[in-house]
Structure formats: structure tokens, C-alpha cells
Amino acid sequence: MKEITRTPIVILNFKTYLESTGEKALKLAKISEEVANETGVNIAVVPQYTDLLRISNEVKIPVLAQHVDAVDAGGHTGSILLESVKMVGATGTLLNHSEHRMKLANIQKMVKRVADQEMVSVICTNNIETSVAAATLQPNFVAIEPPELIGSGIPVSQAEPEVVEGTVDAIHKINTKIGVLCGAGISTADDMQAALDLGSDGVLLASGIILAEDPKKALYNLVSKI
Amino acid sequence: MKEITRTPIVILNFKTYLESTGEKALKLAKISEEVANETGVNIAVVPQYTDLLRISNEVKIPVLAQHVDAVDAGGHTGSILLESVKMVGATGTLLNHSEHRMKLANIQKMVKRVADQEMVSVICTNNIETSVAAATLQPNFVAIEPPELIGSGIPVSQAEPEVVEGTVDAIHKINTKIGVLCGAGISTADDMQAALDLGSDGVLLASGIILAEDPKKALYNLVSKI
Amino acid sequence: MKEITRTPIVILNFKTYLESTGEKALKLAKISEEVANETGVNIAVVPQYTDLLRISNEVKIPVLAQHVDAVDAGGHTGSILLESVKMVGATGTLLNHSEHRMKLANIQKMVKRVADQEMVSVICTNNIETSVAAATLQPNFVAIEPPELIGSGIPVSQAEPEVVEGTVDAIHKINTKIGVLCGAGISTADDMQAALDLGSDGVLLASGIILAEDPKKALYNLVSKI
Amino acid sequence: MKEITRTPIVILNFKTYLESTGEKALKLAKISEEVANETGVNIAVVPQYTDLLRISNEVKIPVLAQHVDAVDAGGHTGSILLESVKMVGATGTLLNHSEHRMKLANIQKMVKRVADQEMVSVICTNNIETSVAAATLQPNFVAIEPPELIGSGIPVSQAEPEVVEGTVDAIHKINTKIGVLCGAGISTADDMQAALDLGSDGVLLASGIILAEDPKKALYNLVSKI
């Protein structure tokens, strides 16, 4: 928990790419660990549920789940139970990712359940307004990703710096302990630097690294100016 | 694939009970393997996604996923990718469980995707009409569970024998190779026997075994008259 | 009910375009009635819920709802109750439109509820397999719309004639009384003619007429070769 | 808009009861208008979409929609378009009702869209935390309904007075212009009085009036101590 909230942080979302599933997920997690060790930057990985166990057994960097469903233990065939991801080593989870939006009541329920399990919550949001609403629920992090920039290659820190700054300001008025992450279009050292300069505590990213020709090089590059 | 379609079959759904998560899931899978080995009855287990890897590594009985989402590899954070469960050893999956109903178009897409991966599909249904519709999609199994009997302790084979018989008849008119399972309220040897006598190829069950005081004894009892 | 099942039929889906909402919806319904009266072709309109009352009061052609939710009367705030659309004059409803896909169990429930209310059901589907599954539920119509052609301007009757023919054949093996409609990319008299030549009983269309510069002329043109 | 925000207000949700659909919806709306006129209390009605037109034509009290979908005009067959309910006379809408929970991003989008249309938004919530998050989105009203009390006959103002007071305090810290409504288990004059004494601006209720033997008498009784 302590480690996962050390900032600046790079959170690497494996999504459901074949390039980051199974053996390739493990390899990518090991690369992330190497870069974290060599650079001292806090890097967390977010593999699929099926890969959580092996990755958390084999690397020492923080491992998060991509989502958990708003259910308690019981008869919920097919759902993602928070306790199930914790038991295989996840120390936190994304919530409300743009590819898996959640109902307000469910986000609130799960931020609380995650905290009760002494795990870390990262709520993804799409603009300043939803970031503020999310922050009132007291997660550990809010990751803002303007949907028009996701996968665009255009970094939010460059295209909409005022959104990042506005989000940081608004969230810190609610609780200065909530970390703010930038999450769309980030892939280079300059993007990363700009994100931090705007007051954020790190980045949430995926395809810029996962689908890079040389993920390790791309990840090194990303954190090279921190 | 051959093994998983040998009938009669008992498919044990672990749902999201804490009694069948993590270490307890592994223990339950080993118990299932023991009973399968000692009795010669085909028993398959259906743990949560996070437990698939360890269980499929440690037991030799068939291991299924509880659900897969109707997505292809790509940007689908939080979704269950078919390939991800296959890579950790699942040889099949439930689809459309009553606790995770799917859209018709998605069931069709995934039955096809599952077959393309040479895995086994079990579509859960709620009555004769939906069983027939499901059977036209050519899955390996259809598991009928009248919703009013789920968790009731009243076996479908006793409460609504005409539903089981009607389903078997209607499905076999479409394709005699599709297995038909009974799936609600089953827990005793008599329930199991009645299910087979009505023409079904096995049972899909959960709480009757998972939450039993002595799951191993309950499972032995279940298959004792086959 | 008799009128609505007279074929060939043109079913005009108003979707949620502003061009077919409120006063403009009423105008479009009147145009449809005029063309129906002058050409003798059976034309049905499918306005939004809020416009059903006025349109069914002011035109004599069949009026359908775009969707109904799988609920019975009771505490379901915000849902579309079948009885509510019947009371304002709808004599049938689309189900499972590509923009509002439904769960298999819900389609089955609602086809039955619609028939019990002596109304007409039109299940939308995306390929031969789902069309066959839908047909086993015994709706009045199945409307096949290959998703890749929706809004493309390329008529399914031209791009994938084998899909239309295959669907007609497969559905008629189940029940020859189920009407088959073509529903993607249709806008001209030739598209309409081709659809009928392939064995279908009519078309389901939207933007080709709704967004036409002169909807009345477009509708006349559409039915001019029947 | 001015009228609808006059407090204390009673918002009567017709849900999808047959007792409040079609002709019976109109009758209930007229009863509500009579009681409003005779007592001077602001009463708003929330009928189903299909009944909005006739009711808003025939009564002068505020008429709201039960829900609107998070879509813009376009190809969204079966969805509830905000503009469609406005064109038939709705001057506001409920959002996120417990029977129709919405995703956070969609609530935010629609509160903004509703305001842009100069209509009134009422976000329903389930506890203090979600009420605060909802309030940051700047709706006109937040209606808190602890789910365990809905339909219980036990008024929230009596069972959990601290929840109502806590919600009022927390919301007013964000914006004193946001009205706070109580919404679970309210049916008598004492419940109503207690709700106002705890600082709320009115109530949102349904079955206590809709399903009463004599709805007019029940409604009179409800507002008799204001």
C-alpha cells in the first residue's frame, strides 16, 4: 500500500491486448520491474484477472486489477469479486475505466470496499466535473482521461493542459491526499514531464507502451526525464 | 475436449462464494478430482478467473471459466477475454448464466469464438423456449435452470420433470450431439439419478456442494447412484 | 394486427433523430400514410415513445414502438412498459434493435408478452445464426440487419444477397408464417425490389428516408417498383 | 422552471404501475393538480413517457420524465432522448432512480444537457456519499432514498433522520441552492412534516399515494400539516 502510493507513479494498463496476455503479460511485468528498479520510478502493472496470480508471485512492483464488480461474496457467477483479486496478490484496482464505466452507486460502494480491504483505488474519469464527483468518494487516485484523446497519440498534458491543472486544483480542494493521474495519449518523456509539471502525480497509460515495438525502451524513455 | 464432453457429467460452479475462492477453491478442486478418480464420474470445476491458473495446473479434471465477454483482443479494460482464460488452462466456459445473462448476439458470437478455440461451451437457459433458441447456436451443452428453483433446494428433476424432458426432446430434434444438463436445486443422489432418467446428460450445480458442511461427502453422495 | 402483417411491408424507424421527433415525427407519419394510401403499400411507422399517442391518433397506418423493456407492471421507474405503449395506440414493437440489443431471456419473455397482448413483434438480428435463434421464439417478423451495412448506404440485398436468402430459407424451415425483413442500407426502389426478389417480405429502414432532403419523394421512390 | 423549483415540493413518481398508466395516469395527474390548487403546495407528477403529452396538455402542475438516456439526437433506437420529453411538455426529469441507476459519466452529461435545455434535474441517490458526489454536478435537486427503506412503509425521516440531516448539511456546503428531497417510505402527514423539519425541501414518493385505496385522500393527508 505504501509503495503503490509513492509518486510520481506510472500505472501501466495491460487491457486485453494479446501482446499483454499470458506469457507476454508476465514478460511485460518483468520489464516494468526492471525499469522501476533501474530508474527508481514507481511503476505499477494492471494485467488481466487471469494473469494476476503469476505476475504478483514473480514481480515485486505493485499489481492492480483492471476492475472489480460491485458485488459481495455470494452467488454472482461470472463477476469479479474484490476478495478474489486480493487473494492472488492485487494490492489495488482501477474503477470506472472508460472501457468499463460504472454506475455512481457502484463506484461509491467499491471505493469503500477497496479501502476496507486496505487496497488502493484508482477512479478513472473523463472531465473536471466527474473528477470532482469521484474525488468526494475519497479514492487514493483519480485518473483523468479526456475520451477524445484516448488512443489518439495526442497527450492530454499538451492538448488540454487546463483540464489537468483544473482537475488537480479542484481535487486538492476536496482532499490534498488524493493523487491525480493523467491518462490519455501519454507516451513520451516530454508527455510525462508535462503531466508532472501541471501538478499531476503520474500517468495511467497503455497502448503507447504495450504496443510499442520495444516496450522496455519505450518505458525507459517515458520515465527518463523524471 | 474429449474428456470434458464425456457424460454423465457433473459441472460444479464455484460462483463467488468465499468458500470457493483462493486456497479454498484449490482445495475444492482437489476434492472434486478425488471423487472423479474414485468413482469414474466426469466432474468439471468452474472457479473464478483469478483461480483458473493454479487449479488447472494442479488438477487433471476439466476446468471451465464462469463467463467470457463478447470482445476480441484489444482495448477492453476490465473485460474477460476468451484467450486469457484459455491461456491459463480453461478448456471451456459457461455462457449466459442466470447471474450473468448475455445478449443474444453476444451468445452467438462467443459460442462461435469458443468453438474456434477448440473449447467447450455451456449455455445456461431458463425454460424450453430459450433452450431451443440456444441449441440452434450449436453449443456443446445447454444447461436448463428454471429461475424459480435456483437455490431453492427443490430439484428441477422433481419439481418440473416435464421441463427437463421437453428440453431434452426439443434440443435433440435440433442436434442430438448437444448435451443437456439440469441445473437448479440439485444436491442429492436421487436428484442426480432423476436428472439422468429424464434424459439429461448431467447436472450443473453450486451451493448444494460448495456450501455443504462436508463438500467431499456431498459430492460422493451426489454421484453414488450413477 | 391484420393490417400490420400484410406484406410487402415497409417499416420506417424514426430512431432519435430530431428530424423525426415531435411535430416533425407527426409530419413524417402523415407523409407515410399518404404514400401508403396512394400506392397501396403497407407502411408502418416507429416513432419515439413520447410521440406514439399523437401519431396513432392522427394516422391510420400501423404504429410500432421502438423497444419495450422486459418488465411487468410495477416498480420499474424509467422502463418502457409494454402496456404503456399499447394504451397509446402502438400495435406492435421492435425488439433487439442493433442500437438496443436485448438479452436472450428478455427477448423470449417479451415476444410472449407481446403476443399475449395481441400485438406484433419484430425481432432485429445481425446474421443467419441469430435470425434462426430468434425465429424459434415465434415472433411475427425477423428483421436481419448485418451491422457492417447499417447506415452504409450499401443495401444488404446487394452486398450480401446470400445472407438474405439464407435467412429466409432457414426461418421458413422453422415457421413459414414468420415474416422476414431486410434492414440495412436500403433506400432505393431497386434495393426494395431486390429485397423482395430474394424472398423477404419487406424492409426495415430509417436514415435513407428520415434524413432525405425530401422524405415523401424518397418514400414514393422506395415503393415505386413493388 | 420557476414553479417546479418552488418548495416545499411533493414529487409523485408514477413508476410503471398499471394504476398510473394511460387513463389512470391522467386521472392521477388531475387529482394531483386539484390538491395542489386547493392546498397551495407545489406538487409535480412523473408519469411514463407515453403519458407525458396528454398530461402536460391537461394539467398546469409541473410534469417530469422518469429518466432520460445519455444520448444526443441521432441513431439511438429505443433510447429516451431529452429533447423528445421536452417537446411533449416535460419541464424536468429524474436521473439515476434506484430502479434505473446511471453511470457517473452519464449522470454528469445529462445534468448538463438538462440545464442547457432550461429544464430541472432531480438526481436520486442512496446515501450521504453519493448525494455529495451528485451535488457536485450541480443539479436542481438531490433526492435521497436509502434503498433498504424503499417500499418499506418506514419513512426515512423517522428511521434514519441523521441521514437526511447529514445529506442536507453536506449538500448545502457545496451549494445552498440545491434542493434536498427525502424519498423512501414517505406516506403520511407526519412523515412529510418530519422530512421538512430535518431540513429537506420536500419529498419524492410513489406507492404510498399511487397504490392507496383513495389516492386523492392520501395526497391531501400527506400535505395537510405543511
Tens of each residue's pLDDT in chain A, 226 residues? 457 778 899 999 999 999 999 999 999 999 999 999 999 999 999 999 999 999 999 999 999 999 999 999 999 999 999 999 999 999 999 999 999 999 999 999 999 999 999 999 999 999 999 999 999 999 999 999 988 777 777 887 788 888 899 999 999 999 999 999 998 788 899 989 999 999 999 999 999 899 999 999 999 999 998 8
Residue B158: band (very low, low, confident or very high) from pLDDT cuts 50, 70, 90: confident
Q: What is the mean pLDDT of residues C121-137?
A: 97
DSSP structure class, residue D96: S
Tens digits of residue pLDDT in D5-14: 788 999 999 9
Separation of alpha carbons D114 and B1, rounded Å: 54
Q: What percent of chain C is predicted at pLDDT more than 70?
A: 99
First CA to last CA distance, chain D: 22
Q: What is the model's pLDDT at position A1?
A: 47
In this prediction, residue D4 carries a pLDDT of 76
Which residues 119-138 of A have a C-beta within 8 angstroms of D? Answer: 125-127, 129-130, 132-134, 136-137
From the list B49, B76, B78, which residue is nearest A50 (CB)?
Answer: B49
C170 vs chain B: nearest CA distance in angstroms? 11
Shortest CA gap B66–chain A (Å): 5
Q: Catalytic site residue B67?
A: no
With cut-offs at 50, 70 and 90, classify the pLDDT of residue D109.
Answer: very high
Q: CA nearest C74 in D: which residue? A: D17
Instruction: Give Cα separations from C118 to B14, C62, C93, C140, C143 (angstroms).
Output: 43, 14, 11, 11, 20
Of the candidate ranges B126-140, C9-23, D33-47, D145-159, the one whose mean pLDDT is the lowest: D145-159
Round to whole Å and give the CA distance between A120 and A116. 10
* Mean pLDDT rounded to a whole number for chain D: 94
3-state DSSP of chain D: CCHHHCCCEEEEECCECHHHCCHHHHHHHHHHHHHHHHHCCEEEEECCHHHHHHHHHHCCCCEEECCCCCCCCECCCCCCCHHHHHHCCCCEEEECCCCCCCEHHHHHHHHHHHHHCCCEEEEEECCHHHHHHHHCCCCCEEEECCHHHCCCCCCHHHHCHHHHHHHHHHHHHHCCCCEEEECCCCCCHHHHHHHHHCCCCEEEECHHHHCCCCHHHHHHHHHCCC
Contact D136 A129 (CB under 8 A): yes
D187 falls in which pLDDT band (50, 70, 90)?
confident
Return the number of CB contacts < 8 Å for C and D.
139
- Determine the pLDDT at residue B157: 77
What's the pLDDT score for residue D16? 98
d(CA B26, CA D96): 40
From the list C102, C105, C130, the residue facing B130 with the nearest CB is C105
Write out chain D residues lying below 8 Å of C94, CB-based: 77-78
- pLDDT on residue A153: 76
Residue B213 makes CB contacts below 8 A (sequence gap 6+) with none
Q: Domain span at residue D24?
A: 3-223
The total number of structural domains in chain D stands at 1
Whether chain B has a CB inside 8 Å of the CB on A67: the answer is yes
Give the mean pLDDT of B162-177.
94
Cα-Cα-Cα-Cα dihedral sign, residues A136, A138, A144, A150: negative
A26 interface with B at CB cutoff 8 Å: no
Cis omega before residue B8 (within 30°)?
yes
Closest C-alpha to A16, from A61, A55, A67: A67
CB contact under 8 A, A102 and D106: no
State the average pLDDT over residues B2-26: 92
Nearest CA of chain D to the CA of C179: how many Å? Answer: 21
pLDDT of residue B1: 47
**Which one of B96, B104, B109, B167 would you mutate to disrupt binding with C, by most C Cβ within 10 Å of its Cβ?**
B104
pLDDT band at B154 (very low <50, low <70, confident <90, very high): confident
Give the C-alpha separation, D165 to D200, whole Å.
8
pLDDT at res. A204:
95
Task: Find the residue in A nearest to B64 (Cα).
Answer: A78
Please give the pLDDT value at position A187. Answer: 85
Counting CB pairs under 8 A, whether chains B and D reach 3 or more, is no
Question: Chain A contact for B58, CB < 8 A?
Answer: no
CATH number of B60's domain: 3.20.20.70
Convert the pLDDT of each residue in B15-65 to its tens digit.
Answer: 999 999 999 999 999 999 999 999 999 999 999 999 999 999 999 999 999
Window A:68-107, CB contacts with D under 8 Å: 96, 101-107
- Kindly give, in sequence order, each residue whose CB lies less than 8 Å from that of residue A148, ignoring residues fewer than 6 positions away: none
Whether residue B204 contacts residue B13, with contact meaning beta carbons closer than 8 Å, is answered with yes
Is residue C65's pLDDT more than 90? Answer: yes
* pTM, to two decimals: 0.96
> Does residue C1 register a pLDDT over 50?
no
- Sign of the torsion formed by the C-alpha atoms of A71, A72, A78 and A81: positive
- Answer yes or no: do C129 and B136 touch at CB < 8 A: yes
